[in-house]
Amino acid sequence: MIFCKRKYQCSRLNQFFSVLIAMSFSLFAQPVKLLSPLKSNQNFLYTKSSDKIFFEAQFDRKINWELVLNGKTTGNLDTLKGYDSVVKTFWSGSNWSTSETVFAHLHSPDLDSSISLNSLRLSFNLFCSQKNNIIKPGDIIQFQNFEEGSIFNNLGGSWTCFSDTNTGGKSDISPLSVNDFIVAGVGNPGHAIQINFNVDQIAGIETTLRKSGTINLSNFESIIFDYKTTGNIDSFNFVLPTENIKNLAYSYITLPGSSTWIKRKVNLEDLNPPNWSSIDNSPDLKQCSKFRWEVIGPGKNGTFLLDNICLKLKDGLLPDDDIISLITSSVRKDLNIKRKHHIFDIIQSNQGLLIKANNFLPSRIEIFNLNGQRVFQYEINSPRSSSFVPLNNKHFTSGQYIILLCDKPGSPFMMARKFILQ
């Protein structure tokens, strides 16, 4: 009898512990709540500025989480992982090389399924600068991607718009100010040129290829650019003005409009003069002065967007001009480099270079050999009017080099000169 009573008590005790254990498992099996949604400190990232984008979120307890970063254009993937109740992490995009929209998605199998996906996801624009340290035969060279919002392209030329007002036309263009051409958030991705047209006869936009003069495109195969149109702009012309043409019969190609972003490669050999020209108007690619995008009316009304302009070299060929003409708007061969009231002296010693300025010092220098390879770069943080730049002999042999003086990112100021290292 006593044995049965003890057996009953033991059974009750086991049931108690079983319930307690079940309650414990039930407690820990509850889905994890999201206390603070996924957010970032900014909605863009420039890889060339060594910047980082920071992410934060918070759960009601510690869990294993993953933050997956997915490139919209390339399909690139990066995964950040952790175990904590608070997500605090960052990403630099240093191993990515294509400008695109990046989607970030925070997930864990322990999360409550009722959590809104919008609380776990966000997107941002990644802007990757072209790696100019080496230009190889046949390379694609960036002309302009507009991400710094500058009206100056990478060769030093600038943008403007034109219309038919001088020929009695009544075309409208907006904006008229070149400073308003480039708009953030409308590009493919990021910034892009956005122009509104209401065309009577003709209207368009164009850029000079450098600050003054012409460039030689004879070693280039094609120009590549992204574009999009709205409204009834169902076609437009890409035009290549050259200095040997005196009657405005510039070679061109007509392209169709597109309501979505499209990347177009235009072979320079496919450009032809207009059929109304009765003389030989073949373009001289050694005398190229502008790139032009024009809409022919009447009645064409809508928006034209342009982004990511590049130049493709012919296979086996390098640019005819020195590499510096592709990354700076001015090359000077005199002892002093002058811009407005800024004068720069570069003095060579056995240990390096001394750069002196009367009242202005650029923020960095880059040195290239004559094959176009960047062999050295140096950030100048000195507030003084001179800075000593140490040179490591392992990067250099005796010979000619080009030194590029650069101001802050986004500034059109880039000055260059040749020097002989002995």
Domains of the chain listed by start with CATH number: 34-127 (2.60.40.10), 140-321 (2.60.120.430), 328-421 (2.60.40.3080)
pLDDT for the residue 296: 96
3-state secondary structure 350-414: CCEEEEEECCCCCCEEEEEECCCCEEEEEECCCCCCEEEEECCHHHCCCEEEEEEEECCCCCCCE
Q: What count of other Cβ atoms lies within 10 Å of the Cβ of residue 35?
A: 12
Residue pLDDT, tens place only, 26-73? 445 688 999 999 999 887 776 655 578 899 999 999 999 999 999 887
Whether residue 186 contacts residue 139, with contact meaning beta carbons closer than 8 Å, is answered with: no
Please give the residue that has the higher pLDDT: either 11 or 313: 313
Residue pLDDT, tens place only, 165-209? 888 999 999 998 888 899 988 998 888 999 999 999 999 999 998
Per-residue pLDDT band at 224 (split at 50, 70, 90): very high
Residue 298 CA to residue 35 CA, distance in Å, equals 58
Q: Where are the beta strands (DSSP E) in 157-289?
A: 159-163, 172-174, 182-183, 192-199, 202-208, 220-229, 235-240, 251-256, 262-267
pLDDT for the residue 48: 55
Please give the residue that has the higher pLDDT: either 114 or 9: 114
Whether residue 154 contacts residue 144, with contact meaning beta carbons closer than 8 Å, is answered with: yes
Which DSSP symbol is given to 132? Answer: T
Q: Residues with Cβ < 8 Å from 259, sequence gap 6 or more?
A: 228, 229, 230
Helix (H, G, I), strand (E, B) or coil at 174: strand
Residue pLDDT, tens place only, 127-158? 765 444 456 788 888 888 887 677 878 777 88
Q: How far is CA 35 from the centre of its chain?
A: 35
User: What mean pLDDT value characterizes the chain?
Assistant: 79
Kindly state the tokens that stand for 174.
């907006």
Whether residue 389 contacts residue 346, with contact meaning beta carbons closer than 8 Å, is answered with: no
Q: Would you list the DSSP string of 104-131?
A: EEEE-TTB-TTS-GGGTEEEEEEE----
Per-residue pLDDT band at 229 (split at 50, 70, 90): very high
Q: Which of 58, 193, 68 is nearest to 122 (CA)?
A: 68
Which of 15-19, 97-101, 372-376 has the weakest average pLDDT? 15-19
Cis link prior to 189 (omega < 30° from 0)? yes
Residue 294 CA to residue 163 CA, distance in Å, equals 9
Residue 359 CA to residue 356 CA, distance in Å, equals 9
Indicate the burial class of 125 (C-beta count within 10 angstroms; 0-12, 13-18, 19 or more).
Answer: buried
